[in-house]
C-alpha cells in the first residue's frame, strides 16, 4: 500500500484519500461532534478514527451508487434527487432528511428578512431561492411515488423518536453543566461537515470522480455524514448500556460472550464489561454496534441478500 513510485501529482494533490494513508483526517472534528452527540467530554481518539473509517466507507459507497443512478439518468452531475432516490426505502430517515432540508430553506428565509443586506443579495441573485430545496424534493418524490406513501410523508406529523431521544439526551447532558461548560457544548454542537466543505470534498475524493455531486447534493452528503456519526453514537451508547452487567441479570454471561468475540485483545473484558473508568465510548462499542446493525435478526434473515450485496448496512439510509 505504498505509493513511492507514484506520480508527483498524487503527492501534490492530497486527495488520494485512503490508499496513501489518509492525509486528511476528520478525527479531531469527529471527537468534537461525538461530545456534542452525547459522548464524554473528551472522546477517545481511537473511537474517532474508527468512526471516521466507517463513515468514510459508507459515504464512498453511497456516492458510487448515486453516481450510478445519475449515469442511468444521463445526467452530468449527481443531484439531490439521486440521493433521495437511494433513500426511498427507509421512510423515517427520508423524513428526517426532508425536515432538515425544509428547515434550511426556512432559516434562510427568516435570516434574509432580518438583515437588509441579505435581502438585497437575495433579490439580486434572482430569487426563486425561497423553498427551492423543498420544491425540488417534492417534485421528485411526486414523480417516483407509486403508492402515495412518500407524498404522505409531507403531511405526516409523527414524532421522530430517534430525534426525540437525542433531544432528551442533550437536555439531560446540559442540565448538569455550568455555564462555561455549556458554552463549550454549544460551540461543539455547531460543528458540522458542511462548515468544512472543501476538506469534506477532498476527504471524499470527489475530484477524481467522473460525475461530481452538485452543491445541494454536497449539503445532503454532509448531512448524511453527520447522521451516520449520530447513529453510531446512539447505537454505541445503547451497546454500552447493555454491557453494564447488572447484578442478578440471568443473561449477563450471555452478553459478555458475544462481546468477547469482538473486543481487542489489548482491552480487558473487565474494563469494557463494567462501566469503563473513562466514560468515553470505546471502539469495541462501535464495532459491536455496527455488527448488530448489519445483522438481520428474524426468521427470513438468511434469505435477505439486500445488504449482503453491498457488504455493509448503510446507517444513514
State which residue, 31 or 282, has the beta carbon closest to another protein.
Answer: 31
Nearest distance in Å: CB 212, another protein: 23
Nearest distance in Å: CB 238, another protein: 20
Distance CA(17)–CA(15), nearest Å, equals 5
The total of other beta-carbon atoms located within 10 Å of residue 89's CB is 11
State which residue, 229 or 236, has the beta carbon closest to another protein.
Answer: 229
State which residue, 116 or 210, has the beta carbon closest to another protein.
Answer: 116
Nearest distance in Å: CB 21, another protein: 29
Nearest distance in Å: CB 258, another protein: 34
Centroid of chain to Cα 300 = 28
Distance CA(283)–CA(235), nearest Å, equals 12
Nearest distance in Å: CB 52, another protein: 17
The total of other beta-carbon atoms located within 10 Å of residue 224's CB is 25
The total of other beta-carbon atoms located within 10 Å of residue 20's CB is 15
State which residue, 125 or 301, has the beta carbon closest to another protein.
Answer: 125
DSSP state of 194: G
Instruction: Dig out the grid coordinates for 86 from the structure.
Output: 437511494
State which residue, 19 or 174, has the beta carbon closest to another protein.
Answer: 174
Contacting residues toward another protein, per CB under 8 A = 36, 100, 103-104, 106-107, 110-111, 113-116, 119-120, 123-126, 159, 167-168, 170-171, 173-175, 177-179, 182-183, 186, 189-192, 194-195, 226
Q: With the CA atoms of 199, 204, 209 and 211 taken in that order, what torsion angle do they form, in degrees rounded to the nearest 10? A: -90
Amino acid at each position: 500500500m505504498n505509493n513511492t513510485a507514484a506520480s508527483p501529482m498524487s503527492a501534490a494533490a492530497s486527495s488520494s484519500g485512503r490508499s496513501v494513508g489518509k492525509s486528511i483526517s476528520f478525527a479531531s472534528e469527529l471527537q468534537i461532534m461525538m461530545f456534542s452527540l452525547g459522548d464524554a467530554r473528551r472522546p477517545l481518539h481511537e473511537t474517532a478514527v474508527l468512526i471516521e473509517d466507517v463513515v468514510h466507507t459508507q459515504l464512498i459507497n453511497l456516492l458510487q451508487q448515486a453516481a450510478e443512478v445519475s449515469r442511468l439518468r444521463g445526467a452530468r452531475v449527481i443531484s439531490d434527487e439521486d440521493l433521495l432516490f437511494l433513500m426511498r426505502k427507509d421512510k423515517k430517515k427520508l423524513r428526517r432528511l426532508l425536515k432538515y432540508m425544509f428547515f434550511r430553506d426556512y432559516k434562510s428565509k427568516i435570516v434574509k428578512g432580518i438583515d437588509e443586506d441579505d435581502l438585497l443579495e437575495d433579490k439580486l441573485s434572482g430569487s426563486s431561492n425561497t423553498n427551492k430545496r423543498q420544491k425540488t424534493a417534492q417534485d421528485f418524490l411526486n414523480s417516483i411515488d407509486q403508492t402515495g406513501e412518500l407524498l404522505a410523508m409531507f403531511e405526516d406529523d409523527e414524532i421522530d423518536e430517534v430525534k426525540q431521544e437525542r433531544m432528551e439526551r442533550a437536555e439531560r447532558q446540559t442540565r448538569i453543566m455550568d455555564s462555561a461548560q455549556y458554552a463549550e457544548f454549544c460551540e461543539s454542537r455547531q460543528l458540522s461537515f458542511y462548515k468544512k466543505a472543501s476538506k469534506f470534498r477532498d476527504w471524499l475524493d470527489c475530484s477524481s470522480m467522473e460525475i461530481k455531486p452538485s452543491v445541494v447534493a454536497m449539503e445532503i452528503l454532509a448531512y448524511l455524514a453527520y447522521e451516520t456519526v449520530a447513529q453510531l453514537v446512539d447505537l454505541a451508547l445503547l451497546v454500552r448500556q447493555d454491557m453494564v452487567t447488572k447484578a442478578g441479570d440471568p443473561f449477563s454471561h450471555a452478553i459478555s460472550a458475544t462481546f468477547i468475540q469482538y473486543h481487542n485483545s489489548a482491552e480487558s473484558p473487565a474494563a469494557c464489561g463494567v462501566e469503563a473508568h473513562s466514560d468515553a465510548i470505546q471502539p469495541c462499542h462501535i464495532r459491536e454496534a455496527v455488527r448488530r446493525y448489519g445483522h438481520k435478526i428474524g426468521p427470513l434473515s438468511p434469505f435477505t441478500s439486500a445488504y449482503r450485496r453491498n457488504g455493509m448496512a448503510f446507517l444513514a439510509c
